A and B are shown apart, each in its own frame.
Chain A
Amino acid sequence: MLTNGYLNKLRSPGFFCVALVLLALSSCSRPAPRASVKKVPAGQEFSGFLSTYASLKPNPDFENTKSYVSGDPAKNIHKYVAVIVDPPEIYISTDADEKAFPDRGVAALKEYFQNAITGAVEDAFPVVQSSGPLVLRLRSAIVGIDVGQQLPADQKDANTLERALNIGRVAVEVELVDSETGEQIAAAVDRQNLGEGATVGSATFSREEKFRAATQAFDGWAFRLRRFLDSANELSKDDIDRVEATNFPYASK
């Protein structure tokens, strides 16, 4: 219990001065904001990025992939015509030291993957900037990135990262949600290992031949995402029968 004397001390001008100095010092010593990375929780199968994992099932058409596509007649992928592509999120592996992750590398990686998935989906789902009716939101995460070794000093230039990023055991988690309600319409966790042996060692890795394996891996995941969308859009047998029976051109006979 606080005594009256103690409360009086708290109200004294000296105490406020000390508090202000401490506050100023703490804000000065705060590190610059880092590119946000999250960590895969220990002992968990998934990163926790998707809004729900409850409906995911192994997809026979895609190796090492679990997926879900809403079959709700009122809210399914066929009911949407455009998409917002959110910047990808990065989940580092459970054991990795997040302080060792170079911000520039994380930012470059995010930018490359966002461009890759935008390019892969945009002709099927035109990309728009704001949410609204008939618009999906494409959320994605690169899960399991690890920090690699320090790069040799003699190989460094202005774009070289302090530490390489290792994408050897990366998975990709994506989901399409209704841009207005956030309801999950489709989702996939792609564990197909496309990045084995690939690293990112430069902020301009997309333009450097020695990191071609990394860009190919990201392009590969983007391509698989497009294939997943194509498969989710395939017509069912009932739909085919219905379309066949009703879809006639207006041209004169």
Chain B
Amino acid sequence: MTTSRSSRPKNIYICYSLAAIKNITRYTGTFRFGPQLFIEDASLDKGEQSMKSCVTLSVLALLASSSFGADEVSTFAAYVDSDLCARLMLGPITSERVQCSQSTFKEGSQPVLVRLRNNMVLTVNKEKMIGPLIGQLAEVSGKVKPNDGTVKLDSAMPITNASIPKGDPARKLLDVRMYRTDRSAQLHEKIRHELAMMPYISNFDFISFAQSGADVILSGWTVRATNRDTAGRVVRDIEGVETVINNIEVLPLGSFDMQIRAVARAKLQRYLARYFWGSGSDIKIVVKNGQIILLGTVATKADSDLAFMQCNSVPGAFKVFNLLRVQGSDKGA
């Protein structure tokens, strides 16, 4: 573009920035950040040159700020799980986990996504979109807010296990062998010990974890924000741990749920006193939006059934998930 200096309109600075971008691409072949931005244009005098640079930088700053301010929009492979199973972290996607996802979803646990790449649990804005895909893999597109653990869904399409290429980080969660190999058993025990020793764990908190080599995924529910942070910190500080994904959910302390917590504990403490002691209990009572999730270990199936019955009679509780494990049995009741 050849325009005489006198006839060039002085106030149309956007032309300068476009010209500058054109010049940059002309000199460098590609448009990129770096010292190439300040290439001299022999057709402009010194004042115009500095104006050009200034406007160019402004345009680039605007472009940069608009891209930094936006949420992370991404497409990723995920496992469509129930909130309950995702927080319990049953580990890799086995038939047992799929069964858990489907049965607990049917019983009323909300659907969530587990990002395969890093095991992050994400709650969604459109539960109906992923509900039919529960227990399956899906390619999901949407705006992810990793700090909130949420995703604003655009689309969710079912995919097969085979469609995820070999070597893709997303395959990690599909490979059972990745989890808790013998050589990391010691590390597993160390993590378990550290989490068990946290001082602010109450009857109403349940913190679990899964380990894949040096990667640890924390999950569960807590009524105190400090437990989420402390768990992340103590595990991160353990020698041998490289990454920690913290999927522990902090539960709201609404008065309705608090009432349910208090009554449920009082009932269990009355009928199953031997499972309760000074600062804690073998039975954990997680209450979320009127739902009770029973976790932990009891000695007999009869105790598990009794706990379930007692919690079912708690006023205001509209659903009880009994996931108590019976000693000597691998599965919950």
Contacts and interface: CB of A to CB of B under 8 A. Distances in A.
Interface of A: 71, 73-74, 76, 78-79, 81-82, 123-126, 128, 130, 132-135, 230, 233-236, 238-240, 242-244, 246-253
A130 to B, nearest CB: 7
Nearest to B209: A249
B199 A234 contact: yes
A242 B226 contact: no
B202 interface: yes
A242 B277 contact: yes
Given A81-B223, A126-B253, A246-B297, A236 B259 contact: no
A126 B195 contact: no
B210 A78 contact: no
Query: Which of B91, B193, B258 has the largest number of chain A CB atoms within 10 A?
Result: B258
Nearest to A231: B199
Contact of A128 (B203, B253, B295): B253
Contact of B278 (A123, A134, A239): A239
23 contacts: A73-B277, A74-B269, A78-B202, A78-B278, A79-B202, A81-B223, A81-B258, A123-B226, A125-B224, A130-B255, A132-B255, A236-B278, A239-B279, A239-B280, A242-B277, A242-B282, A243-B280, A246-B282, A249-B210, A251-B88, A251-B208, A251-B210, A252-B210
Residue among B176, B179, B199 facing the most chain A CB atoms (10 A cut-off)? B199
B283 to A, nearest CB: 10
Nearest to A74: B269
B141 to A, nearest CB: 29
Contacts of A81: 202, 204, 223-224, 253, 258, 261
A108 to B, nearest CB: 29
Contacts of B255: 130, 132
The 8 closest A-B pairs by CB, nearest first: A133-B262, A252-B91, A251-B210, A78-B279, A123-B226, A249-B208, A247-B196, A233-B199
Contacts of A240: 197
Contact of A250 (B90, B94, B277, B282): B90
A246 to B, nearest CB: 5
Contacts of B200: 124, 233
Interface in B179-234: 179-180, 192-193, 195-197, 199-200, 202-204, 208-211, 223-226, 229
Interface string B264-287: 000001000000111110100000
A230 B199 contact: yes
B171 interface: no
B265 to A, nearest CB: 8
B259 A132 contact: yes
Chain A CB within 10 Å — which of B195, B197, B204 has the most?
B197
Nearest to A121: B226
Contacts of A125: 224
A234 B90 CA distance: 30
B96 interface: yes
B149 interface: no
Nearest to B180: A253
A126 B282 contact: no
A244 B282 CA distance: 11
Contact of B89 (A79, A132, A238, A251): A251
B258 A134 contact: yes
A234 B198 CA distance: 8
A99 to B, nearest CB: 43
Contact of A251 (B91, B229, B279, B296): B91
B196 A124 contact: no
A158 B223 CA distance: 44
A132 B90 CA distance: 35
A126 B225 contact: yes
Contacts of B290: none
A235 B224 CA distance: 17
B226 A124 contact: yes
A237 B179 CA distance: 32
A236 B279 CA distance: 8
B301 interface: no
A252 B90 contact: yes
A243 B210 contact: no
Contact of A249 (B97, B192, B204): B192
